[in-house]
Chain A
Amino acid sequence: GAGVSQSPSNKVTEKGKDVELRCDPISGHTALYWYRQSLGQGLEFLIYFQGNSAPDKSGLPSDRFSAERTGGSVSTLTIQRTQQEDSAVYLCASSSLGQGVETQYFGPGTRLLVL
């Protein structure tokens, strides 16, 4: 079946604009994760969804970042008033039940560049 898909694959925006990043998880996966990958920083956890609720938002770097998930499927990560330090690759992953021992399946990422 289809894997995790993300759109857009690349996004260039101007400082101060809002951006929306989309993640389409594997069908039937209840857990969905957002990570940020910056040069030399590894993978930074942002937020985790179990179904449509987000029990762990601890990784969101500021109140400019928000995410939602509807219908237990597609998720959108929104960054308001983008800053240059938001430039990174944003990765989405899903797993079947959200238990930490499960394999996470990653999408190809969205490369965000804030000018």
Chain B
Amino acid sequence: AQSVTQLDSQVPVFEEAPVELRCNYSSSVSVYLFWYVQYPNQGLQLLLKYLSGSTLVKGINGFEAEFNKSQTSFHLRKPSVHISDTAEYFCAAYSGGYQKVTFGTGTKLQVIP
């Protein structure tokens, strides 16, 4: 069965510092990967997704993620965070066919002024 692991439940970081949110997946077949963001009291919205091609994917708000097949990872990065990036971030994976998209447990990013 497919699974998505986000090891860090909370990540505090100072404003303008870089951040990396970790995501690992387990799948024996080709996988498609997503990062969603949930701002306080809002629904989730897509940040970026990897379907194929370049392993470095750029998303909205200056975020990017790198697909690493050998390490089964899809870590999310931003070189300089802003207060407005404070939110919860969810990694998700889909393996094709009738399988559902599997979400990780989320990482709360707290940007400190």
Contacts and interface: CB of A to CB of B under 8 A. Distances in A.
A41 interface: yes
A55 B99 CA distance: 10
B96 interface: yes
A101 B100 contact: no
Nearest to A104: B101
* Most-contacted residue by chain B among A33, A58, A100 (CB, 10 A): A100
Interface of B is mostly: loop
A43 B32 CA distance: 17
A42 B100 contact: no
Contacts of A84: none
Given A45-B103, A104-B44, 6 more contacts: A48-B100, A100-B99, A101-B51, A103-B49, A108-B41, A108-B43
5 closest Cβ pairs, A-B complex: A106-B43, A42-B105, A100-B94, A43-B103, A106-B44
A40 interface: yes
Chain A interface residue bracket vs B: 20 to 34
B98 A42 contact: no
A42 B42 contact: no
Contacts of B95: 100
Contacts of B101: 45, 100, 104
* Most-contacted residue by chain A among B43, B100, B106 (CB, 10 A): B43
A100 B32 contact: yes
